[in-house]
Amino acid sequence: MFLFYFSIILAICSSALYHFTAKSTPANVNFTVSLLVTYGVAFIVTLFTFFIFPAHNGVTAELKKLNWASIGLAVAVVGIEFGFLLVYRSGWNLGIAAVLTNVVASLILLPVAILVFKDKISWVNSIFWGFLFVSPGW
């Protein structure tokens, strides 16, 4: 049960930190240089996670288990990074841009979740989605 709550808290806090730091990135720095530093630090931080989640069968064995999703995730992450750097440099408000992108992405993912991943929509989900649309004043 700990992992259930810890994981969502980590995702929420990291998302907030992400948007704060993306908005704080200097406007005069080159996108590519900024992201190279970001990914270099992320690589080092990720190496430290081996202390928490060791690869018991070795890294090579784990690499063999990967599929197309790792490449897709990499492309998506770079798109998100460049996208938000452009969004904030072009003058979007921090709160509006973060909420808008997450709501629209959720709307796109809802049919994908149902059709591709066979997720079930319950009354609890429906109440959540209703709250999501009502709370921003839409």
Percent over 90 (pLDDT), the chain: 72
DSSP string, 46-95: HHHGGGTS--TT-HHHHHHT--HHHHHHHHHHHHHHHHHHHHHHTT--HH
Q: What is the pLDDT of residues 87-135, one digit of tens each?
A: 999 999 998 999 999 889 988 888 888 889 988 877 666 666 666 665 6
**In this predicted structure, what is the pLDDT of residue 100?**
92
**In this predicted structure, what is the pLDDT of residue 61?**
96
pLDDT category of residue 49 using cuts at 50, 70 and 90: very high
Fill in the amino acid letter for 132: L
**pTM of the entire structure?**
0.81
Q: What is the pLDDT of residues 64-95, one digit of tens each?
A: 999 999 999 999 999 999 999 999 999 999 98
**In this predicted structure, what is the pLDDT of residue 110?**
83
pLDDT tops 90 at residue 137: no
Listed as own residue / partner, the contacts of 87-96 with beta carbons closer than 8 Å and 24 or more positions apart are 88/22, 88/23, 88/25, 89/27, 94/19, 94/20, 94/23
**Mean per-residue pLDDT of the chain:** 90
- Beta carbons of 101 and 39 less than 8 angstroms apart: no
**In this predicted structure, what is the pLDDT of residue 124?**
66
Residue ranges of domains in the chain: 1-92, 94-138
